[in-house]
Amino acid sequence: MLYLGIDLHQKQMTISLRNDDGNVILRRQVSTRWPKLAEFREQLHQALADDEKHVAVVEVCGFHDWLVKWLQQDERCHQVLVVQPLGRTANKTDRRDANALSELLWVNRERLLRGDRVQGVRAVYLPSAEQQADRHLTQLRERLVRKRTQTLNQIQKILRRHNLGWEQPTRMLSTGERWRPGAANAETPAAADGPRQARLWRPRRTMLSALSASEADAAGSSTGSSPLSPGEEATRCPA
């Protein structure tokens, strides 16, 4: 088994490869261009003995996903470990970082391969492709909802600035009075905006009708009898 430490950057990565004895047998920089990566894979396979595999470790960063997937596609790769960045030193270089990663992997090879915790090393869980797709969809939805809320708040701010909030459709009864079913000169948005607005407005019309009926029932119960017509009131009024 060989142990590969990788310090990844955008345009190049620095690698350190150790054998079972802990000796560094390969140390170099590799461009992240796909032809150069293919050449490095061939060089890595040449360093492996027959039926021998390697384990790779890389620090987490904002663009390590492609490298993990590329390593996992290699049939000679036994496992890929992603860890949180190690402690920084004053004399930090890419070569020293890659060397520290490969040494960390070789020293703790048995515990890391079993999945046990190692003091000072925080491994990162690698989600499956399906889980990554679900996460991306969830993050996209959260961004869209946040953008929608910001847009609505901006519209409300403009309406308040010009005192147009009273013309803004809301769930309040006072604003919906102009669209109450049966009201004089009522302009129902469903008639003007088509079937889609009709579907959106139907629950509101039902709510307004229910509120109107409850108001009438409350007025009748407060007088102790049902509401009277103007003719009936004149008949019952004393002379």
Do 36 and 151 share a domain, yes or no? no
The verdict on 36 and 135 lying in the same domain is no
Same domain, 7 and 120: yes
Per-residue pLDDT, 201: 53
Over the stretch 28-59, which tens digit does the pLDDT of each residue have?
Answer: 999 999 999 999 999 999 999 888 999 999 99
For residues 18 and 67, membership in a common domain is answered with yes
The Cα 76–Cα 25 span in angstroms is 17
Least confident of 13-17, 73-77, 134-138, 177-181: 177-181
pLDDT in tens, 172-222: 444 444 444 454 444 444 444 455 555 555 655 665 566 566 666 655 655
- 194 lies in which domain range? 169-239
| pLDDT at site 36 | 95
Global pTM reads 0.60
Give 115's contacts (C-beta < 8 A, 6+ positions apart).
none
Say yes or no: 84 and 185 in one domain.
no
Q: Which residues contact 97 (CB under 8 A, 6 or more apart)?
A: 7, 14, 59, 86
Stronger pLDDT, 117 or 143, i.e. the higher one: 143
117 and 35 belong to one structural domain: yes
138 and 22 co-located in one domain: no
Give how far the C-alpha of residue 116 lies from the chain's centroid of Cα atoms, to the nearest Å: 30
- Domain final residue pick, 126, 146, 177: 126
**What's residue 119's pLDDT?**
76
Q: What is the pLDDT of residue 214?
A: 61
- pLDDT of 225 over the 50 cut: no
- Can you tell me which residue has the tokens 């060397």? 99
Q: Are residues 12 and 114 in the same domain?
A: yes
Residue 131 and residue 209 in one domain: no
Higher pLDDT: 182 or 138? It is 138
Number of domains in the chain: 3
The verdict on 111 and 16 lying in the same domain is yes
34 and 84 in a common domain: yes
Q: Is the domain of 178 the same as that of 233?
A: yes
